[in-house]
Each structure stands twice: as structure tokens, then as C-alpha cells.
Structure 1
Amino acid sequence: MRVRHKPWAEERLKDFPQYVIQQPESHKGKWREVFGNSNPIYIEVGTGKGRFITEMAKAHPNVNFIGIEVFTSVIVTALDLLIESELPNLKLMNVDAVNLRDYFDKGEVNRVYLNFSDPWPKKRHAKRRLTYKTFLSIYEDILPKQGEIHFKTDNQGLFESSLMSISEYGMLLTFVSLDLHNSDFEGNIMTEYEEKFSNKGDRIYRLEARFQ
């Protein structure tokens, strides 16, 4: 993904600590205090510009959402959406997903969303895919037993490799769609990329899987 650098973005994130979690490691094991309730927590790894996570938070007020994005110049757009919406059940974190164990205790996260992740198509880059076994291990460590991963992509190669990775890890696939927008799936909320690709006629792939 090509990211246009925004030199002011980091300071803007710091200006809104009520929305962007600063030093998230200090909240490990205490996320109920952050949200002020014991509602389930769903995270999106690679939240991008924030459309999906913002609309999910609007649609599900009894769920707490955290959008996680490593690129400062991207997540600042998600911050603008959150400021406009003023959603009490949504927070943002400008961190790398490889460190999720530092921010969440076992079982603190109830579901992980992965939407239109970088496909890293070259074989030598497979370890960077967010559905690679090392990342699955991270998610397993922060989810409860039988915790779920929901994954969407337009990239057939990434979807196929993800199906293999998830199956080989021993997870149970509970939903698979090879053409989401022409299926009977209800309640789909599109990301910016999803709308773009769908309008071009590209097929959208989706799966749900849970740890056993």
C-alpha cells in the first residue's frame, strides 16, 4: 500500500487521547476500565482509513471496538471519522500488530477482523501476511477459547493461502464465501477498498474461523 506521508499526523493523534490510546501496554488486562463497561471487545487489525470499524461501532453500540493501524498517515483519517461520529465504543491504536500480546491479556479480545490486508504475494514475504501462522498464534493468545477471526479480501491468492494457513493451524472454518456480494450473507459493512473493488466487478472473498 502506498502511503502519502503526513508529517503532522503524529501530533494530531496525540491531540486526541480520548480517541487514540496512548501507551496501550499500560491498559493490558484493564480494557474494561478504558471503556467503562464489560461489553465484548472486537478489534480490526489494519483498520486503514476507518470506515469499517466506524460503521461497525455505529451498528453495534453494545460492543467495544478498537481499530489498529501501523501507518500514522493512514489512521489519522480514521481519527477524523471518529471525531465526527463521537462514538463512545470505539478507540484507535497506532501500533504494530506483532505486539498485540503486549496490549491484551488472554481472552480480553472477543473477535479479530482482518479486512483487505496487504497480500504480500511473494513467497519469501509469506510471514508478513496477517493470516500466517505466527499471527494466528498471536490472535489465539489474546482471544478466549473458540475466539473468532473474520477475514475479507479481494485477492484470490491471499484468500487461498489464508484458507490453507488457518486449516493447517487447526482452526475450524465456520463460514466461507467465494463471492460475498452475490451470497445471502447479511449485515456486511464495506471498507473503502471493498467498495472500490466491488464497483469494478471484482469478487470479494470472506471467511470466518474459530480456534478450538
Structure 2
Amino acid sequence: MGRKKLERFRQNEENRNVVQPGKDLYEKIKGCWNDFFGNDHPITVELACGRGEFTVGLARNYPNRNFIGMDIKGSRIWKGSTMAIQENLPNVAFLRGQIERLEDFFGEGEISELWITFPDPRPKDRDEKRRLTSPRFLEMYEKLVRKEGVVHFKTDNTGLYEYTREILCERTEVELLKDTDDFYASAWRDEHLGIKTRYEKMFSEKGETIKYICFSVR
């Protein structure tokens, strides 16, 4: 392992805004996120947040909300954690963990808003259960996102977009609120304040259209 990565891991251990294995709080954080932030503001979670650009970008614009970026890679979340500290953003945290274990880290109804941004499309049929918009994951979101809370989904992948749309239309537990196969030509483009993930920038520059779905949990 390179020195740079080791140094990032060391800093993650010191950074208060990182919750990860080895810290006492890691096994106790479920249901206690508002205590962690020291307020009762609504909680927004971004799954597979990568370097955290999107999580931090949202936190800059919405100081009266709390934001948590979740990713399994410690070297990735180090970037977002460091940005938040440098910008003195107390409403940002990063959680290192597997999304399959989401229920171990959040209590029922603890999340107000959830973002699924450019997940791995998992195109092979045998990998359907690993897609972050498969029924398996949607059942978790429906428990953890409070009633009338919203889930946002963005992708450049047409197959995953069509799959997600079909799955959502079959579920009576959700209400489809927004749906477009070309986000930046839609009426909702300005709602996101120009905040983009690294992958969104990359795909957009290649000429890919960005697909977007927003739904609420009944």
C-alpha cells in the first residue's frame, strides 16, 4: 500500500466527520445521527458517494440539513472529509461501510432524503440483486426513509434507468414524482444548483444524457 493511501487512512482515523470501523461510534451510530450532528435537522444520505463532491456540494447550499456520504473506500471519502473540514462545514459526515448493511447504520425513518448517484449498473442478470435499485434495496429504503421522504436516482446508463423505472412502477409503496431520460434538458435541471459528481461530469463531457428519477415513500 502506498504512503499516500496510508496517510489518508491515518487522517480518516483522526477526522471526527468520518465514521468507520475501529471507531467506537461505528457500532452505535444507528438511530443517533442527530446526536452526532448536535441538532435535529433533516438527514440526507448519498450512497456510493465516492470522493464526496456531491455530498459536500449539497452541504454548502443547505446549511440547515445534515449530509452523510457513504462509501466502502476509505481513500475516497478522505477527499470529501478533508474538503468539509477545510470549508468548516459542520453538517457533513462520511460513513465507511457496505451499502448492503445500510440497516445496521440507520434507524427506521431516520433518513429524510436519499441520493443514489451513478451506481454500478450491474448489467448481468446474475447481478440483479446487487443493483442499488433492485427490490432488495428498495425494501430497505422504504424502511429507512421517513414517510413522504424522497429518493433521487441519477445514472448515465440507459439499461439501469429503464430497469429502475419498471421496478418502481410495480411498487405500490412508492410514488413516482419526477422522471426524465435527459435531465439537463428537463424542467428540473436548475433544482440541483449545478452540483455534479465526478462521474456525472465525465459522462456529460462524453455526450451521455443523464437520466433522473425522483420518488417518494408513501
TM-score by length of 1: 0.92
Alignment of structure 1 residues 117-128 onto 2, 5 Å? 117-128=119-130
Alignment of structure 1 residues 69-88 onto 2, 5 Å? 69-88=71-90
Alignment of structure 1 residues 16-165 onto 2, 5 Å? 16=15, 18-21=16-19, 22=23, 23-165=25-167
Q: Do the aligned partners of 2:113 and 2:151 also contact (CA within 8 Å) in 1?
A: yes
Q: Does 1:187 align with 2:186?
A: no
C-alpha distance 206-10 of structure 1, shift in aligned 2 (>3 A): same
Give me the identity figure in percent: 35
Unaligned runs of 5+ in 1: none
Q: Do the aligned partners of 1:98 and 1:138 also contact (CA within 8 Å) in 2?
A: no
AA of the residue aligned to 1:141: K
Superposition deviation, residue 73 in structure 1 = 2.5
Alpha-carbon distance between aligned partners in 2 of 1:57 and 1:149, rounded to the nearest angstrom:
17
Alpha-carbon distance between aligned partners in 1 of 2:153 and 2:142, rounded to the nearest angstrom:
15
Give secondary structure in 2 for the equivalent of 1:106.
coil
Provide the residue aligned with 1:199 in structure 2.
205
Superposition deviation, residue 7 in structure 1 = 4.3
Give secondary structure in 2 for the equivalent of 1:144.
strand
Residues matched between the structures, number: 207
Superposition deviation, residue 39 in structure 1 = 0.6
Superposition deviation, residue 8 in structure 1 = 4.2
Give secondary structure in 1 for the equivalent of 2:146.
coil
- Between 1:21-30 and 1:40-49, the stretch displaced more is 21-30
Give secondary structure in 2 for the equivalent of 1:110.
strand
Superposition deviation, residue 142 in structure 1 = 1.1
Q: Considering fraction of residues, name the structure with more strand.
A: 2
Unaligned runs of 5+ in 2: none
Q: Do the aligned partners of 1:51 and 1:192 also contact (CA within 8 Å) in 2?
A: yes
Divergent runs of 4+, >4 A: none
Provide the residue aligned with 1:210 in structure 2.
216
Q: Does 1:15 align with 2:14?
A: yes
TM-score by length of 2: 0.89
**CA displacement, residues 17-54 of structure 1 (integer Å, 9 cap, x when unaligned):** x1102433312222221111111000001111111110
Q: Do the aligned partners of 1:140 and 1:147 also contact (CA within 8 Å) in 2?
A: no
**CA displacement, residues 134-163 of structure 1 (integer Å, 9 cap, x when unaligned):** 111111111112321100011111111111
Alpha-carbon distance between aligned partners in 1 of 2:170 and 2:80, rounded to the nearest angstrom:
34
